[in-house]
Amino acid sequence: MLKAIAMGTSLLAFSTLGLASEISNTFTDADMLQQGNSYELNLAASGLTSASVIELNLVISGQGALSSGQQPACTQWQGLQCMGGYENTSQSEVLHEVNIAVTCDDQPLYEDRKSYSEYTNEILTSADSTLAFDVSLVKLTPVTCQLVKLNVSTLSGEPMAKIQGSITLKNNTSKPSASYYEVIQ
């Protein structure tokens, strides 16, 4: 009987240790602290030991920086030389650029930047933009953290954003094939 209790206690201790080595969180912009054009999510990760897999899924919807105006354009080209007159034509450009960073106790784990850009000869009335990050990483040197931070910064465009996502740090992969994971230092 004493042997069974000791084995049960050992299994409980081992399974508790296994659970402590993973953090997982689903969140929106409402869960994040906003300061200007930056959103930050802080995850208490005490007990996170030897996590070597990082999975991050983010969808960021917002407004890009919209500029419109009239630009002179050549009406007739011959090779690289303008042979005709110039007319003013409408031109619009939308640029939405976002930077993300994941840190473990203020040490960088991952950083990436994406942008949406559109340039046209028409007047654009909407600067709506959606950027998505689907990141699956295997870190060669596992990490132990007390605090994991995710920072989402709008580099161009409106500072307000709708953010939906999930972040997981753990010891094992969950996708069916190793080809889904990028290996990082």
Is 143 a residue whose pLDDT tops 70?
yes
Is 173 a residue whose pLDDT tops 90?
no
The string of pLDDT tens digits covering residues 12-24 is 333 334 444 788 9
Domain 21-63+96-117+127-184: give its CATH code: 2.60.120.260
> What is this structure's pTM?
0.77
| Whole-number pLDDT of residue 185 | 81
Domain ranges of the chain: 21-63+96-117+127-184
| Whole-number pLDDT of residue 22 | 86
The string of pLDDT tens digits covering residues 45-100 is 877 788 889 999 999 999 999 999 998 989 999 999 999 899 999 999 999 999 99
- In this structure, how many other beta carbons lie within 10 angstroms of the beta carbon of residue 60? 24
Torsion of CA 70, 74, 79, 83, to 10 degrees: -160
Is 177 a residue whose pLDDT tops 90?
no
| Whole-number pLDDT of residue 101 | 97
The phi and psi torsions of 80 (rounded to 5 degrees) equal -100, 10
Structure tokens at 40: 């930050």
Contact by Cβ (8 Å): 159, 168: no
| Whole-number pLDDT of residue 147 | 92
Is 102 a residue whose pLDDT tops 90?
yes
The string of pLDDT tens digits covering residues 29-49 is 999 999 999 999 999 987 778
Place of tokens 């850009």: 117
Is 144 a residue whose pLDDT tops 80?
yes
Is 117 a residue whose pLDDT tops 70?
yes
